Amino acid sequence: MTKTWFALAGASALALFASGASAEEVTLQLKWVTQAQFAGYYVAQDQGFYEEEGLEVTIKPGGPDVAPAQVISGGGADVVVDWMPSALAAREKGLPLVNIAQPFKRSGMQLTCRNDSGVTATKDFPGHTLGVWFGGNEYPFFSWMSKLGIPTDGSPQGVTVLKQGFNVDPLLQKQAACISTMTYNEYWQVIDAGMKPEELTVFKYEDEGVATLEDGLYVIEDKLKDPAFVEKMAKFVRASMKGWKWAEENPDDAAMIVLDNDETGAQTEHHQKQMMGEIAKLTAGTDGTLDPADYERTVETLLTAGSDPVITKKPEGAWTHAVTDVAFK
């Protein structure tokens, strides 16, 4: 921290103490483990942005066995980071999640293919095995295949879907022609494993017209009836977006802050700096206010997933500007 930020944080703390107020507590549940994907929140905490707003924020890492929707449903968090497909699916099933802010403007989802598998264009997909993440991450993929008119039943004219673990082994071991990767994570694991970019063909969901919104902030709908909760979330979103903009401008420093918060010790400086550079491209150009056009595109994609649509009808009340209007008025 610079002396300036120490001074700001100190002044904020003194003001809070002098007023006799106590910090408002907020618990945030992340979608995945501590990594640069969530740098904005760790930066906001480290740089005193939450403290300036009178907040005491607890950041809970996620993982393969942590479902943000289940956590917030059970009262384990006030706000969660989740992808819109899984949030809308949960809403249709009865959990009234509402998007209050959208820090990620663009999608990082892509399909990475080995050129030596014979897949260098979408027309080459039939007859091959494609690795797909499940647990809510499969929805855009099935929508894409439906749009292309390619069956996912393993038939010769279709593709065989491999339920992919959260690693890149199927591509490296040639168990699949293509695997799911994120621009900021698994793609670089493939490169770090020794493959060269020119040996790969990458299909970005954003470019294919089937991108869905990722890494939004969600709360339980009933909570928004309380003006005090809306105000608290406005403070949280405002401070979090300040953290995201700081991270965009200081990617290497942001990556180091993430590493400081990685209690597992699993992350490396090289990978986190690499990741932060890519993440900054996804959060650039937004203050966190959801663009209704992006929401509509996501819904349209989810409604066209062939015989197994993610949602069966257009949701109502699944997002609100109530929080960002207060945050950025």
Domain ranges of the chain: 3-106+213-327, 109-208
Has residue 6 got a pLDDT over 80?
A: no
Q: Return the pLDDT at 302.
A: 87
Contact 305, 215 (CB under 8 A): no
3-state secondary structure 180-240: EEECCCHHHHHHHCCCCHHHEEEEEHHHHCCCCCCCEEEEEHHHHHCHHHHHHHHHHHHHH
Has residue 9 got a pLDDT over 60?
A: no
Q: Return the pLDDT at 143.
A: 84
Work out the pLDDT band at 4, boundaries 50, 70, 90: very low
Lowest mean pLDDT across 3-7, 113-117, 284-288: 3-7
* Pair of tokens at residue 145: 């295949």
Work out the pLDDT band at 139, boundaries 50, 70, 90: confident
pLDDT tens digits, one per residue of 194-222 = 999 999 999 999 999 889 999 999 999 99
Has residue 137 got a pLDDT over 80?
A: no
Provide the greatest CA pair distance for the chain. Answer: 72
Arithmetic mean of pLDDT, 78-107: 96
Which residues lie closer than 8 Å to 117 by C-beta, 6 or more apart? 128, 174, 177, 178
CATH number of 109-208: 3.40.190.10
Name the pairing type of β-strands 79-82 and 216-220: antiparallel
Lowest mean pLDDT across 1-5, 112-116, 226-230: 1-5
Per the prediction, the chain carries an average pLDDT of: 92
Q: Return the pLDDT at 329.
A: 86
Name the pairing type of β-strands 178-182 and 109-114: antiparallel
Has residue 19 got a pLDDT over 50?
A: no
* Fold annotation for 3-106+213-327: D-Maltodextrin-Binding Protein; domain 2 (3.40.190)
Work out the pLDDT band at 106, boundaries 50, 70, 90: very high
Work out the pLDDT band at 7, boundaries 50, 70, 90: very low
pLDDT tens digits, one per residue of 248-269 = 999 999 999 999 999 999 999 9
Reported pTM? 0.89
The answer to whether 3-106+213-327 and 109-208 have equal CATH topology is yes
Q: Return the pLDDT at 305.
A: 65
Work out the pLDDT band at 18, boundaries 50, 70, 90: very low
Has residue 46 got a pLDDT over 70?
A: yes
Q: Return the pLDDT at 308.
A: 63
Arithmetic mean of pLDDT, 1-29: 59
